[in-house]
Amino acid sequence: MKKVLLTGFDPFGGETTNPAWEAVARLRGRRYEGFEVEVRQVPTVFRTSLRVLRQAMLEVRPNVVIGVGQAGGRSDIAVERVAINLDDARIPDNDGEQPLDLPISEDGPAAYWSTLPVKAIAAGIREAGIPASVSLSAGSFVCNHLFYGLRHLIATEFTACRGGFLHVPFLPAQTIGRAPTPSMSLEHMVNAIEIAAMASMRYGKDIAAIEGRLD
- Give the residue numbers marked as catalytic: 80, 143, 167
User: Cβ distance 12 to 45 under 8 Å?
Assistant: no
Of 17, 16, 18, the C-alpha closest to 8 is 18
Of 121, 142, 138, 141, the C-alpha closest to 52 is 142
User: How many Å apart are CA 143 and CA 148, to the nearest integer?
Assistant: 9
* DSSP-assigned letters across all residues of 116-162: S-HHHHHHHHHHTT--EEEES---SSHHHHHHHHHHHHHHHT-TT-E
Alpha carbon of residue 201 to chain centroid: 16
Those residues whose C-beta lies under 8 Å from the C-beta of residue 107, and which sit 6 or more positions away, are none
Which CA distances in Å does 47 have to 16, 142, 214?
A: 22, 9, 33
